[in-house]
Structure 1
């Protein structure tokens, strides 16, 4: 199997994995936002009240959750489009253009960037929330399901936040690792395509040189043969 086919199959496999991982990002985040009444848990802080033992929460910006949520959606859309595109290329046995390979590299870098940012937001934001929870509970996990938010008139459901954020965190970090692999594969395909094109150009130029040299030798040979024949006749 040629190197190009191996790289193409690797890209298809990578995007299938990335599609599954993207679901692990945006689905838990969407559920968590719904359960927290559209409040973002990430980077949320607060203080425990001594009077009633409730958590006086200061909600963080929704942008942290929204960015990670949109990252998962973007990874899903890109992966679906790339899977379809690569399958069509495989069965059509079409050779990708330099522009399409360059776009693959740009997409790989883009996915890498947004996935690492989302992973950092989810990880650090969840740590900040858990730091507040562990001031009262022995672990962040044991605080799940406890009605601890002061003035909770929206009936916030905290029972599943630990599993949801853990799943989103896992999906974001593994998506980053997968995006790195896809970016490297896309770059290798671009380099391989460039090398093949250079070889073809070199072979074409060498062939033209040999053809021109042969034509030049063909034009110079007859006069020599004619001159030699004349000398032979004179000797006779």
Structure 2
């Protein structure tokens, strides 16, 4: 198998993995947005309050409930979702192109390979920023839910604790942690995309540089020159005997 074919096959596999990882970002974020009624839990601020809430407990006892002062900016959740959607769409389109190139036994042009490298590097930085943003936002929300780790339960366990909010918090940690892990996988895959795209660019450049020289090198190795093709070669000189 030639080098460019191996690179194409590796790139096809990476695109397929990107589609799966992107879906594992988009689906949990969509479910979390639906459960939170369009609000973003990332970077939300609030505090715990203990008071008599008969409408919550059904009696006159005190109950601790979470009071959200300000929900997180919607852009924090939308940014992660955008990276996931773009990864799915780009992976599907480029995966089809790789399969087409494998079938046709050819590769991108030099300019197209350069654009692919540039796009891969740009999206790599975007996905890395979205991963950091999602991780920090989840930590901030967990600090709010666990009251800075003073509650007798962890952030993962708090999704089974009634927070008495007007949103569904029964699976927020599962959804956001799955989206977080998948988004970091997307970032790692975009790094692989960048490396493979650069290798394909280098291979295309090498083929472009060495391709026109190969016929000339072959002629020189065979002792044949195009300028000599139209005229017959001179007969060999006969030695003269000195008497």
Q: TM-score range by the shorter chain?
A: 0.7 to 0.9
Matched, 1:187 2:198: yes
TM value normalised by structure 2: 0.81
Shift, 1:213, TM fit? 8.6
The match for 1:144 is: 159
The equivalent of 1:113 in structure 2 is: 125
Distance 1:178 1:75 in 2: 10
Match of 2:173 among 159, 162, 165: 162
**Once the two structures are superposed, what CA deviation does each residue of 1:11-39 show, in whole Å capped at 9, x if it has no partner?**
00000001000011111001101100111
| Unmatched tracts of structure 1, length 5 or more | 229-236
Task: Pick one of 115, 120, 135 that aligns with 1:123.
Answer: 135
Aligned to 1:37: 37
Question: How many matched pairs?
Answer: 224
Cα offset, 1:204, TM superposition: 5.5
Paired residues of 1:144 and 1:162 also in contact (CA < 8 A): yes
Q: Which has the higher strand share?
A: 2
Which secondary structure does the structure 1 equivalent of 2:47 belong to?
strand
Instruction: Name the Cα RMSD after superposition.
Output: 2.8
Q: Please state whether the residue corresponding to 1:156 is helix, strand or coil.
A: coil
Distance in 2 (alpha carbons) for counterparts of 1:108 and 1:40: 28
Match of 2:55 in 1: none
More helix by share: 1
CA deviation digits over 1:139-195, x for unaligned, max 9? 00111043325xx4xx30000101001110111001111110111011011011112
Which ranges in structure 2 are unaligned for 5 or more consecutive residues?
A: 52-62, 239-243
Change (3 A) 1:145 1:138: closer
Structure 1 range deviating more: 113-122 or 206-215: 206-215
Structure 1: distance between partners of 2:226 and 2:109? 33
Asked if the contact 1:137–1:143 (Cα under 8 Å) also holds between the matched residues in 2, the reply is: no
Q: Does 1:67 align with 2:103?
A: no
SS in 2 for 1:138: coil
Whether the aligned pair in 1 keeps the contact of 2:35 and 2:169 (CA below 8 Å) is yes
Give the 3 Å change call, closer, same or farther, for CA 166–199 of structure 1 in structure 2. same
Matches within 5 A, 1:68-83: 68-83=80-95
